[in-house]
Structure 1
Amino acid sequence: MHLDEGRRAAEAGDWIAAGHAFVRAAMEGSAQGAELATRVTVELVPLADSGSVEAAALLAGIYLEYSHESALPMAVRYARAAAEAGHPAGQRTYGYMLMMGLGVEEDRERAAELFRAAAEGGDAYGRFNLAQLVDDPDESLRLFEAAAREGIVVAGAVLADRLSALDRDEEALGWYVWAAERGHKGAMNAAACWYRDGFGTAPDPVQAVRWFFVMLAHGDGDGIHEAIQLAKAGALDEEQMREAGRLAGDPGAAEALISTVLGDGRA
């Protein structure tokens, strides 16, 4: 969808819209999206050099995330220009460079200032990055939650980790499930293991196997071994395995598990 959107924008000569669409495709794992985003930089440079702050911020992000490291000086140039012009995405990108020492001298204090400005300008990733730098644990949790609710899935997973460290296990499990439902593989594994072991809830082998199945559907086969061990230990019966498959949206995985565990001796 994003690729088509980007191509239509490019055909219309709207290079900024095209760049944003290709970046969204790349963020969802599209290699073609990343390639097309780097191609669009040729069209964005004249716009940025003519004073378009939006183009400068977009260029900085593309150079930083999807281009060869030789483009880092250009990323710094355009990110700094966009940040100085008060563009939230530019502030966030330049802040990230300062936080990590990418092409500039590391300055975490200035990075935090830029992340806060970006967050106040409505940038969700700015909130996520600021959450990692603030000293106040309560503010950090609030920022992670705000970023998550604005669609930054990894923020929900990190929030779960932070809540777990504070022994707020029930809340942590809720956020692991939230992130797992939105495709975060680490959160899928955490949710599965927590349901298996009874962290934040009573042990629930059906939910555990459900998330192990979802991991498998996302290309991570590690969880299926855990599912087999649970089933072989008698934690689930045949119908519960099917329920786990139904919840995962993968009845075939349940039938494969039943066949593996019960074989010809199943009821």
Structure 2
Amino acid sequence: MMSLVASDTYVKAKSLLDAGDYSGVDLMKEAALAGNPYAQTCYGKILVEGDHVNKDNKKAAELFRKAAEHGIDEAQYYVGMDYYLGLTSKKSYKDALKWFRLSAENGFPKGQYYLGIFYYNGYCVYKDYGFAIRWFTMAANQGYSKARIALADAYMDLHNPNRDIKKAASLYISAAESGDVSAYYKAGMCYYRGKAIKLNYHQAIEYFRLGYKEGDVDCEFMLGYMYEHGQGVTQDTNIASMMISHAAIAGSDDARAYLDDKVPVKVKHTPMPVEETVLNTPDVVGKIRGADDGKTIFSQLWKRIKTNVH
């Protein structure tokens, strides 16, 4: 049973760390070893991040599990991520699902997001867009931006029987307005295509510029393309050539395909993305242009480019 001393030590440690005083690290360790589940979660994150301590993922995983077994929703999420990615435990979607569900049902937004991922892709459960959207919505309503993007992707997905591109566009734009870098390209494309919302090259340019400043190579390509064709900007083929070429070199498949004068090969099924977490997993959200099948969301763009509809 956790002692009152452990609770007091945790409160003091958290207060010090919140104030930027790293003397709280040793106190947090003390509280964690004394059995405080909140301290175990906090110190586990410190061990993973290597913040004023030596990194130790294995010890962190042990602490997360102890806290998770005491019902701490955040710790349950981290245990789920450990199984999901096979970091210190053997990779197991079944075990990951168990812990994500516990975390989600306890109200932790990242747990809700990942439970949505499992229903969206059919990992150890029947694929169900309705349940996926339910969990994405719950996480998004708590302000978790990646869930808002996932929710928009789900509404934009061609395979979703309840597809709603207007709702998707609204979510992309809302996320972009809140500064979510991964939303800039998608919000820009909504304005560029003019399907779910009124076509507006100037607004599309603004979002592509924001994404370009953050290093998004596909935003750079679209900026270049619009400079080449004078869409929303004064035509400048020199700027266009520079931006499109750089985007291609930097990894934009769209830019490479455009330079090769080829329509991009349809991307095969792509699972919903894995976010960057405290467990140092890769953030590929910005690279995914669709949900269930990659770039299908904006596949008609290339037909428009080829026929110069705009």
With structure 1 as the length reference, what TM-score do the two structures score? 0.69
Match of 1:33 in 2: none
Aligned letter for 2:115? L
1:211 and 2:203 equivalent? no
Q: Distance in 2 between matches of 1:66 and 1:180?
A: 31
1:30-79, Cα deviation, whole Å (9 max, x unpaired): xxxxxx87x85433111011111100011223333456995111111101
Offset at residue 232 of structure 1 (A)? 5.8
In 2, Cα distance between the equivalents of 1:102 and 1:149? 30
Within a 5 Å distance, the mapping from 1:83-232 to structure 2 comes to 83-134=68-119, 135-165=127-157, 166=160, 167-216=163-212, 218=214, 220=216, 223=219, 226-227=222-223, 229-230=225-226
CA distance in 2, matches of 1:218, 1:87: 35
Residues 85 and 226 of structure 1: CA distance in aligned 2, closer, same or farther (over 3 Å): same
Distance 1:199 1:40, change over 3 A: farther
Secondary structure at the aligned position of 2:118 is classed as: coil
Q: CA deviation at 1:200?
A: 2.0
- RMSD of aligned alpha carbons: 2.8
In the other structure, the counterpart of 1:14 is: 12
* C-alpha distance in 2 between matches for 1:185 and 1:66: 26
Quote the offset at 1:190 in angstroms. 1.1
DSSP 3-state at the match of 1:82: helix
Q: Quick check: 1:157–1:184 contact (8 Å CA) kept in 2?
A: no
* 1:156 partner amino acid: R
User: What is the CA–CA distance in structure 1 between the aligned matches of 2:168 and 2:16, rounded to whole Å?
Assistant: 38
With 192-201 and 82-91 compared, the bigger mean Cα shift is at 192-201
**CA separation in 2, counterparts of 1:199 and 1:71?**
49
Find the counterpart in structure 1 of residue 34 from structure 2. Answer: 50
Between the aligned partners of 1:236 and 1:178, the Cα distance in structure 2 is 22
1:123 maps to amino acid? F
Q: How far is the alpha carbon of 1:156 from its aligned partner?
A: 1.1
The CA distance in 2 between the partners of 1:48 and 1:153, in whole Å, is 30
Structure 1 unmatched ranges of 5 or more: 1-12, 23-35, 239-267
Instruction: Tell me the secondary structure at the aligned position of residue 89 of structure 2.
Output: coil
1:103-162 Cα offsets, whole Å, 9 max, x none, are 012222222222222122221111112111133221111111211121111111122222
Identify the range of structure 1 (227-236 vs 149-158) with the bigger mean alpha-carbon deviation.
Answer: 227-236
Q: Which of structures 1 and 2 has the larger relative contact order (alpha carbons within 8 angstroms, sep 6+)? A: 2
Task: Say if 2:64 and 2:79, in contact at 8 Å, map to a contact too.
Answer: yes
CA shift digits 1:91-114 (9 cap, x unpaired): 111111111111012222222222
> TM-score, structure 2 length as denominator?
0.60
More helix by share: 1
**One-letter amino acid of the structure 1 residue matched with residue 84 of structure 2:** M
Choose from 64, 68, 92 the match for 2:48. Answer: 64
- Structure 2 Cα separation of the partners of residues 199 and 82 of structure 1: 48
Runs of 4+ in 1 over 6 A off after TM superposition: none
Structure 2 distance, partners of 1:181, 1:48, is: 39
Identity %: 24
Q: Distance in 2 between matches of 1:222 and 1:130?
A: 29
Aligned pair in 2 of structure 1 residues 184, 87: CA closer, same or farther (>3 Å)?
Answer: same
Please state how far the C-alpha of 1:207 moved relative to its aligned partner.
1.7
Aligned length: 212
